[in-house]
Structure formats: C-alpha cells, structure tokens
C-alpha cells in the first residue's frame, strides 16, 4: 500500500470560501457574519470536489492520502480566537465528511483552533473531538500562529505542554505546519513554510523536549526544510551545545516527509536522513502544481522520484511508502488492520 501522509483539501466548494468571507466581514460589521455553520454542501458536491485528487492517486500509483484542511487557509493570525475555533470546526467537519464517503482514499488529519498568544490548551477540546468522534489519525500544529512574526514561545517551551500531553494520551502525531504569512518578507510556500520546518528542527535541538515526552511524534514536512542539506551544521551545533547525537536527541521522535520536488533533493534526503525517519508524501494538491519542463512530469509527483532512487532496498521502500506511516500514525495502523490491510513486521 502506498500511503501519502501529506495531502490538503485545496479544491473546496465555493460555499466554504463564502462562509469565510462572511466570517471575516463580520469583524467590521456583526450583521454580516454567518448565521449558521451549516454550509449547505451536500455529499455529492464534496465527492466531486476531490475528483482531481482521486485522479492523481490513480495516475501516480498511490492508494491512500492522509487528508487535512488547506494549510494556508488555517490562517490562525486572522480574526479572533472565537473565529479560529469556528473556522477550524467547519474545516475539520468537511474533511470528516469526505473521509466518510471515500474511506479507501482518504483518512483525516485536523487543524487546531490556535490563535497568537493564546495557550494551546484551548485546542484540546477540538483535538479530542476530531480523534475520538471523527476518527482522525493526526493533527497539524502551527509553531507560529502569528503568521510570520513568531510571537509565540519556541516549541520546547512549557507553553505547548498541554497539547503535547493530550497528543501523547491520544497517540496521535503532529505535523509541524505553518500557515499563510502576513509578513511581506516571507512568501508563504516558498519561504515561510521552509522557514517553519527548519526553525522547528533547530528549536528541538536546543531543548530537551523528548525527555519530558518520550512518546511524542512530530512530522516535519517539505523534506525537513533546509535540514537535510545542512545536516552537518545541525550535527555540529548539537555537539557544541553538548547535546546527545541527533540520532538519540531528536530522531527517535522526528520524521521528515518527501515533499521535495526534484530528484536530486530526494536523493539527498534518502542519503542523509535515516530511512526509518522518512515518510512518503506529495502534498497534492499543494504548493507546486505545474509541470517541470526538464522532465515533462509534474513537480509534485514525488513517487516518481523515489522510484528512481538507486540503493534503496525493498524493505526501505516499504518503510517509506507504508511501514513508517503505520508506525508513526498508530491509529492509522489500527484502522487499516481493522479493514483487513495488515502491515508487515519491521
């Protein structure tokens, strides 16, 4: 089974965008805010909206996508804490409905109702709801709810501990994923996303978070940002800080995905990062949708790159495409096993 652990709902019906427009217009004029969270979107419309993803799954050879709301759309820096809560619930409910109609194609991961300066403890009720009631297997956690200004504490600060405690209790991993940037210095997908990935990894090196949370699991997307390319830098910095080797200090708890859009980048990722820490992902439909003129194929057809990597054993390919996902997302493994798709013993 080919499991894509990083997909976003980027083909939402217009009714969702209209709801969001009304929600934000209500900040200036309360009379314009939506009167109901019912978007009046029927299931057939939802299924039609994900037909592009279904076609890509078939054409590119993947089987199942771990599916979450549009990352840029989380926009935790917009509005108020109450608006973030409402928007999060609406967005997560749509993901749940799609996964319920297309269970063989999608499994849900949710966003959280974060807001700058507010304790992540406010996210716990929604986290419990999406896991216990909606059957989601993971969550996206934004390390910078300020949208490019980084006003909240580092991920290793006790500010974040309430949400970590609940993640461990529920046995769900968090993908460290920023949202859109309101800082004009940082393009959201080209700079802010990669900044977020790289910054999160460095914060984890500086702290000792996993001593307090040995079962906490983080997925750092987009190939880990700049980390694999500068692996020697991070090993050296950890050494200067008198930290344990990265393999002991962070890599028992941190995983990278394969949202890297050229073969040399995937080659580097698989040579530098231990295979046990790499999970297949494509981010479709995500940051880069075009066709690479050098290859004639879509940039985000990442399975094609992995298939071309030499030196990967069949066991390593199994780990990247399926085994690691089942290990990092235990609720996904339980769900697939219940459906009769038992994984291999690693």
Three-state DSSP at 259 gives: coil
Pairing of strands 218-220, 174-176: parallel
- The rounded distance, in Å, linking the Cα atoms of 263 and 116 is 37
* Tally: H helices and E strands in the chain: 16, 8
Kind and range of the H or E element at 69? strand 64-69
Matching residue, tokens 């461990």: 168
3-class SS shares of the chain: helix, strand, coil, % to 5: 50, 10, 40
Distance CA 89, CA 110 (A): 9
- Joined tokens for residue 207: 């702290």
Angstrom distance (rounded) from CA 187 to CA 181: 7
Distance CA 245, CA 251 (A): 9
In degrees, to the nearest 5, what angle opens at C-alpha 130 toward C-alphas 124 and 131? 90
Is residue 283 annotated as part of the catalytic site, yes or no? yes
Q: Which two tokens stand for residue 216?
A: 């906490």
Catalytic residue among 12, 126, 283, 322: 283
Active site residues: 283
């Amino acid at each position: 089974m080919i499991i894509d652990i990083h997909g976003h709902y980027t083909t939402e019906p217009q009714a969702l965008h209209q709801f969001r427009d009304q929600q934000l217009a209500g900040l200036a004029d309360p009379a314009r805010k939506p009167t109901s969270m019912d978007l009046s979107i029927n299931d057939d419309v939802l299924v039609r909206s994900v037909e592009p993803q279904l076609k890509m799954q078939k054409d590119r050879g993947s089987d199942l996508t771990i599916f979450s709301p549009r990352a840029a759309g989380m926009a935790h820096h917009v509005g108020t804490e109450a608006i973030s809560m409402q928007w999060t619930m609406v967005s997560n409910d749509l993901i749940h409905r799609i996964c319920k109609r297309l269970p063989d194609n999608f499994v849900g991961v949710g966003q959280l109702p974060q807001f700058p300066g507010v304790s992540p403890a406010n996210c716990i009720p929604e986290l419990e709801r999406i896991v216990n009631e909606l059957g989601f297997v993971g969550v996206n956690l934004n390390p910078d709810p300020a949208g490019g200004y980084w006003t909240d504490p580092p991920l290793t600060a006790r500010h974040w501990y309430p949400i970590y405690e609940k993640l461990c209790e529920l046995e769900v991993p968090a993908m460290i994923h920023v949202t859109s940037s309101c800082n004009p210095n940082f393009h959201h997908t080209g700079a802010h996303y990669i900044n977020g990935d790289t910054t999160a990894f460095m914060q984890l090196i500086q702290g000792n978070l996993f001593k307090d949370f040995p079962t906490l699991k983080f997925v750092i997307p987009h190939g880990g940002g700049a980390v694999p390319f500068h692996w020697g830098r991070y090993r050296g910095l950890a050494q200067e800080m008198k930290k344990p080797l990265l393999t002991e200090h962070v890599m028992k708890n941190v995983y990278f995905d394969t949202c890297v859009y050229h073969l040399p980048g995937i080659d580097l990722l698989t040579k530098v990062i231990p295979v046990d820490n790499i999970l297949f992902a494509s981010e479709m439909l995500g940051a880069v949708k075009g066709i690479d003129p050098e290859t004639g194929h879509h940039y985000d057809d990442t399975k094609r790159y992995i298939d071309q990597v030499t030196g990967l054993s069949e066991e390593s390919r199994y780990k990247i495409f399926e085994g690691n996902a089942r290990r990092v997302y235990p609720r996904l493994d339980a769900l697939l096993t219940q459906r009769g798709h038992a994984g291999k013993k690693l």
